[in-house]
Structure 1
Amino acid sequence: MSHSHPHPPIDWRDTGVKVIRGDQLDPNTAQTPGMNRATAINRARAGAEKLWAGTVHIHPDAKTGAHHHGDLESVIFVVKGKARMRWGEKLEYTAEAGPGDFIYVPPYVPHQEINASPDEVLECVLVRSGQEPVVVNLDIEPVERPSEVKWIDPIHKA
């Protein structure tokens, strides 16, 4: 049984799988004291339409203010260090994650990211379900005050 193609065959060599090497991440983005970020996968670098992925390195004791990311889903994979997440209407819930752990943040969940180590950099891989930098800052008095050193990535701009 033959399969007919109504359109010309796709050139999978140029439009198929892409490998972005770890030493080829794009640091050409605003950097902020206390952290370094780099884009691996986005529309410009890989042709991605529905997600963004990159690395985030957060200096010791860095804490964000309370916020959520609208309808975006986020996955954080901890490579090195200790991440503490706080979430809830008053950031009343907390959990920690270490190397090899995944953190899932659903849409609209009020949360705060924290580098729980006073002396070790927190290295993570971040994946989001979209490329728009949606962040909604919330007027919640955090249990752990945001630090002068902020956690900045493509969503948490300076």
Structure 2
Amino acid sequence: MHDIGDGHHHDHEHPHPAEAGASADARERWKHDGVRVIPGDRLDPNTAQTPGMYRQAAINAARVGAQKIWAGTVAIEPDAKTGVHHHGALESVIYIVSGKARMRWGDRLEYVAEAGPGDFIFVPPYVPHQEINASTDEPLHCVLVRSDNEAVVVNLPDVEPIERPETVHWIDPIHKRP
């Protein structure tokens, strides 16, 4: 067994390409296909954009070869609101960097919660919800992580949003007008 640094152990070996006998090709592969650092000033804006919202990808298939996760940032204008939607089988995590987020969810959006800097929001699969910048005068900055590379948005036009998206609509190929 080997200690993995946090008091936990595992009982199998991981071949390390830098060990004796590893080929130069294996060392090069690890150098370029191992851990990646994506500088915050080099995020990719070539992702679905929404009026009132500026989304940038950090981790995805195109940038780093990620197969099961997408991560990036989103800046949301004051008072911006989505229509009612869900993300299919995807799980989403939103980390609030600055500003105030409001989430409404449920069959009739009957539940509401707010989150501020340092808070995390978890959106389970298939949960109807509405995303809202709760501030009328400050932007909302978040980090978004999804459990797949594909952006899945299923709009629910038959659910009347409690907070109508009237100031800034999030309408794009992902968030359609209700």
TM-score w.r.t. the length of structure 1 is 0.88
Whether the 8 Å CA contact 1:37–1:153 is kept in 2: the answer is: no
Matched, 1:97 2:115: yes
Q: Which residue of 1 aligns with 2:4?
A: none
After TM superposition, the structure 1 = structure 2 runs for residues 20-35 of structure 1, keeping only pairs within 5 Å, are 20-35=38-53
In structure 1, the gaps of 5 or more residues are none
The alignment partner of 1:14 has SS state of: helix
144, 148, 156: which one aligns with 2:163: 144
Instruction: Label 1:123 to 1:151 Cα distance change in 2 as closer, same or farther (>3 A).
Output: farther
Whether the 8 Å CA contact 2:83–2:170 is kept in 1: the answer is: no
Moved over 4 A (4+): 7-10, 152-155
134, 140, 145: which one aligns with 1:122: 140
Whether the 8 Å CA contact 1:56–1:153 is kept in 2: the answer is: no
Instruction: Label 1:153 to 1:79 Cα distance change in 2 as closer, same or farther (>3 A).
Output: farther
Q: Which residue of 1 aligns with 2:93?
A: 75
The alignment partner of 1:104 has SS state of: strand
Aligned-pair identity in percent equals: 72
Instruction: Label 1:123 to 1:87 Cα distance change in 2 as closer, same or farther (>3 A).
Output: same
Aligned length: 154
Q: Which residue of 1 aligns with 2:5?
A: none
Whether the 8 Å CA contact 2:80–2:169 is kept in 1: the answer is: yes
Q: Which residue of 2 aligns with 1:133?
A: 151
Instruction: Label 1:27 to 1:81 Cα distance change in 2 as closer, same or farther (>3 A).
Output: same
Considering only aligned residues, what root-mean-square deviation do their CA atoms show, in Å?
2.3
State how far apart, in whole Å, the 1-side matches of 2:85 and 2:66 are. Answer: 26
In structure 2, the gaps of 5 or more residues are 1-12, 16-21
Q: Which residue of 2 aligns with 1:57?
A: 75
String of CA shifts for 1:8-42, please: whole Å, max 9, x gaps: 75631111000000000011345443221111000
TM-score w.r.t. the length of structure 2 is 0.79
Which structure has the larger Rg over C-alpha atoms? 2
The alignment partner of 2:31 has SS state of: helix
Give 1:132 deviation, angstroms: 1.3
The structure whose RCO (Cα within 8 Å, separation 6+) is larger is: 1
